A and B are shown apart, each in its own frame.
Chain A
Amino acid sequence: MADAILTMEEIDKSFPGVHALDHVHFDVQCGEVHALMGENGAGKSTLMKVLTGIYSKDSGTITYEGKEVAFSNTREAQEAGIVIVHQELNMVGDLTVAQNIFIGREFMKGFTIDDKKMIEESKKLFDELKIDINPRDKMSDLTVGKQQMCEIAKAISHKAKVIIFDEPSAALTEKEIEDLFTIIRDLRSKGLAIVYISHRMDEIKVITDRVTVMRDGGYVGTLITKECTKEDIINMMVGRVIYEDPKTESKVPKDAPVVLKVEHLNAGRMVQDVSFELRKGEILGFSGLMGAGRTETARALFGADPKTSGDIYVNGEKVTINSPQDAVKHGIGYLSEDRKRYGIVVQKTITENSTMATLEKYMSGIFINKSEEKKITEKYIKELATKTPSSDQLVVNLSGGNQQKVVIAKWLVRDCDILIFDEPTRGIDVGAKNEIYKLMNRLAAEGKSIIMISSEMTEILRMSDRIVIMCEGKKTGELDISEATQEKIMSKATRDIA
Chain B
Amino acid sequence: MPGPEKETEGNVEKIKQHPFVKKVGFNRVILFCVMILMYLAFAIMVPGFFGLARIMSIMNYVYFLGFLSLGVTFVIATGGIDFSIGPVMFCCGLISGYTLVNKGAPVVAALIISVLIGFLFGVFNGYLVSYWTIPPFIVSMASMNIAKGIAAVYTKTQSVSWPLSNDPAGGWFRNLVSCNGFPVGLVIFLVAAFICMIVLNNTKPGRYILCLGSNREAVRLSGVDTKKWEMLAYVICGTLVGIAAIFFVGAYTTVQPGYGDQYNNEAIAGCVMGGTSMVGGLASIGGTVIGVLIISLLQEGILALGFAKDIQLIVTGLIVIVVVYADVMARRRKN
Contacts and interface: CB of A to CB of B under 8 A. Distances in A.
A347 B211 CA distance: 8
Contacts of A324: 220-224
A356 interface: yes
Identify the interface centre among B198, B203, B215: most chain A CB within 10 Å of its CB: B215
B217 A341 contact: yes
B113 interface: no
B217 A356 contact: no
Given A356-B211, A356-B219, A370-B202, A347 B7 contact: no
Given A359-B204, A368-B202, A394-B10, A341 B218 contact: yes
Nearest to A16: B1
Interface string A397-412: 1111010000000100
A318 B166 CA distance: 70
Contact of A360 (B4, B6, B204, B221): B204
Given A344-B215, A345-B218, A357 B6 contact: no
A278 B236 CA distance: 44
Q: Is the interface of A mostly helix, strand, loop or mixed?
A: mixed
A86 interface: no
Nearest to B279: A347
A391 B272 CA distance: 28
Contacts of A400: 3
A399 B4 CA distance: 7
Interface residues of B, number: 29
B194 to A, nearest CB: 14
A398 B7 CA distance: 7
B180 interface: no
Given A341-B217, A400-B3, A410 B222 contact: yes
B102 interface: no
Interface in A340-388: 341-348, 352, 356-357, 359-360, 363, 366-368, 370, 388
A342 B202 CA distance: 24
B210 A368 contact: no
A347 B217 contact: no
Interface string A423-449: 000000100000000000000000000
B320 to A, nearest CB: 23
Contact of A389 (B11, B208, B219): B11
B215 A397 contact: no
Contacts of A357: 222-224
Contacts of B1: 399, 429
B281 interface: yes
B222 A328 contact: yes
Interface of B: 1, 3-4, 6-7, 10-11, 198, 202-204, 207-208, 210-211, 214-215, 217-225, 281-282, 334
Interface of A: 302, 304, 324-325, 327-329, 334, 336, 341-348, 352, 356-357, 359-360, 363, 366-368, 370, 388-389, 393-394, 396-400, 402, 410, 414, 429
6 closest A-B pairs by CB: A328-B223, A399-B3, A357-B222, A356-B222, A345-B215, A345-B214
15 contacts: A302-B221, A325-B224, A334-B221, A345-B211, A347-B214, A356-B211, A357-B223, A359-B207, A359-B208, A360-B204, A388-B7, A396-B6, A398-B7, A399-B4, A414-B223
